[in-house]
Structure 1
Amino acid sequence: MSDDELANDAFIQTIKHLNFPLVVKPLNERRGQGVLCNVQTLDELRSALSQAFTTYTLVIVEEFHAQLNSYRVLVFNQLILGVILRHPAHIIGDGHHNIEELVSITNKERKRINEFLGPIVLDQEAYICLKEQNLHVDYVPKSGEHVALGYTSNATRGGTYETLGKKICKENNQLMIRVANTLSLKLVGIDVQCTDITNTPIEYPSGVIIEANDVPSIRIHEVPMYGPPNLVTRKIMRYFIYRHPFAYLCSLYFNKQTAFYVRSFIVAIILAIVYLLLSKGTI
């Protein structure tokens, strides 16, 4: 959708097949940046689009599926390497601090756990989420009380995530590989929302494929917030090393950290060959 469609209200015709609530997201942005979920009315949509077009040229409008769980599936070379279950930003009450204070405390803990985790931000989406729960930032949650602060599950926007290894049912496994093949992508991260990717085949409306990322994050699999690490890099690199062994050896030869060992190994091989030839009287 473009700014011109908003200016003459043509966007109303464009989105007539969609059911509210909706999601507004930039076409060429990553890591959940600029995404606004749970847009409830046409007026809210018009306002969200107007704000989005101040920064972005093109945006996507799609249906919002709040009741479904969010997953990221990593596919490489027609194999499922890893599955991540993602949760939107939230805080857990302690009975003493209000929501705003708990956000600050949680962000310090997130930074301690992993410097690459984005902070929870009390932005427009957070206030929409709080309003839906009839809460305000001054509210003091009870000990153990879960308070949602957003709908976007990206770790860069305050979300959390856990590894599920390669747990995915047969039907969904085949579907993910079919998506990768259709897009002609050897490596792809597929964002899925469904009830349970491990047991229930994805079928609308209980499951939807949100998008495919051609430069997916590997770190979330190897350095998860929860769950055992899934060392997917090793599997990816092994494939390329076996496929291009000479290119790999060449890179090791010119790498400062490995050059000495590789060159010493080559010299040792040459000396061994020379020794064998001398011992046989060939030279």
Structure 2
Amino acid sequence: MRLLYQSARAFGLAVTYLSDIAYLKITLGKHNFYTHCAITPLNLGASIFMCRAKYTTHLLLKKEGFNVPKSVLITTKLYQTCSLNELTASLNFPVVAKPAFRSGRGRNILCNIKNLNALEDYLNHHLTDDNDILVEEFQHNLRDYRVLILDGHVIGVAERFGASVVGDGIHTIAALIDQKNVIRAKLSGHMTISPLCVDEEYLACLAQANLTLQSVPLKGQVVKLCHTANTGRGGDVLSHGTNIHPYNAKRLSEAAHALGIHLVGFDVLCEDIQQPFTHTRWFILEANFNADLTLHEKPYQGPAVNVSKKIIWALIKRYPLSYLYTLFYHRRLFFYFKIATCIIFVSILHRLSI
């Protein structure tokens, strides 16, 4: 919210941080708007609710002709009454399992589940009455991107990478994780990132590479720790500014329109975002109504894009007269704006009197 706060102030809007409820109040003329975390007033409630329901999002996008992974929704009732083999008959392993409603920042997502037994273990641990599980086919050898769309235009593109460490030939993987966490802690003041935290997927990735936390990788050896490319799970980000193939930008803008959402961060898997989707494999994984703006505005690597300024300007454009009211009555720096307005008004009256 700090980025939105700063941008709103830069436009001369009255902004108040309500610390007791962690909301940001933005006043535009006589209108009050609220933001919470990365949720803005630009989107309609129904569209937000739809994007929260990942399986619903998949169904709608598929119906509209967009590529989404083949998936199934497993509820507690279905899991109790049907065999897991029957529920997943339409899918090919390996698969990804994630909460269907609450998996923010990569929480409780497990990738590359190779068989029914492993999936059953996951479901027994994570499936609850108030949180269904989405199971989808795992897509190999594709790059992971976050593409931020605002009112039908791409305003940010960032490539995401799963957590990893680079060997130095001296330290164990556990020690390398600790070293990287020291660096990430220094960055957490202005970036939405979390430390690398060893979990089930970390251990699985190490096991697949015949490694353990006590292994000492060779100097320069990249050790992948997590398939889930999320900064909340220790992942890294490379900003590409707004660089994307025009056809891909068009398709993702159409996807946002299909969902009826004005501001959305699409999680996209593809071979290369600079190559047209028509010639490559590509999938839309999720539509994030509360997309992390720091991926684009405060990236660890790559060019920064002031997306929060564009978001506040989009809000202003919806209420232009209210913004003029704000400028005229509430900001000292617009003294000359008032004088100019008065001069124009007097000039018009003079012309009418002639």
Higher RCO structure, 1 or 2 (CA under 8 Å, sep 6+): 2
Counterpart position of 1:112: 186
After the TM superposition, which segments of 4 or more aligned residues of structure 1 sit over 4 Å from their partners? 249-254, 262-273
- Give the unaligned 5+ runs of structure 2: 1-73, 348-354
Q: Which residue of 1 aligns with 2:226?
A: 150
How many angstroms apart in 2 are the aligned matches of 1:64 and 1:105? 31
- Structure 1 residue 141 displacement after superposition: 1.0
Work out which of the residue numbers 143, 150, 153 in structure 2 matches 1:69.
143
User: Structure 2 length as normaliser, TM-score?
Assistant: 0.70
Residue 43 of structure 1: SS of its match in structure 2? helix
Give me the TM-score of the superposition, normalised by structure 1. Answer: 0.86
Structure 1: which 5+ residue stretches go unaligned? 277-283
- Output the aligned Cα RMSD: 2.7
Deviations 1:195-251 (A, max 9, x none): 1111141678x2211111112111110000110111112222223223313433566
1:245 aligns with: 320
Is the CA contact (8 Å cut-off) linking 1:22 and 1:63 kept in structure 2?
yes
Name the residue aligned to 2:210.
Answer: 134
Deviations 1:95-121 (A, max 9, x none): 111001111110110111233311111
Per-residue CA distance 1:231-277 (angstroms, 9 max, x = gap): 112222223223313433566789xxxx562696798789989x99x
Residue 170, structure 1, aligned to residue 246, structure 2:
yes
1:261 and 2:332 are equivalent in the alignment? yes
The percent of aligned pairs where both chains have the same amino acid is 32
The count of aligned residue pairs is 272
Among 79, 85, 90, the residue aligned to 1:12: 85
Matched, 1:81 2:155: yes
Q: Which has the larger radius of gyration?
A: 1
Q: Secondary structure at the match of 1:31?
A: helix
Q: Distance in 2 between matches of 1:15 and 1:247?
A: 53
Residue 241 to residue 126, structure 1, CA distance change in 2 (3 Å)? same
Q: How does 1:134-283 map onto structure 2 within 5 Å? A: 134-201=210-277, 206-248=281-323, 259=330, 261=332
CA contact (8 A) 2:76 2:129 kept: no
- 1:34 pairs with one of 100, 108, 131: 108
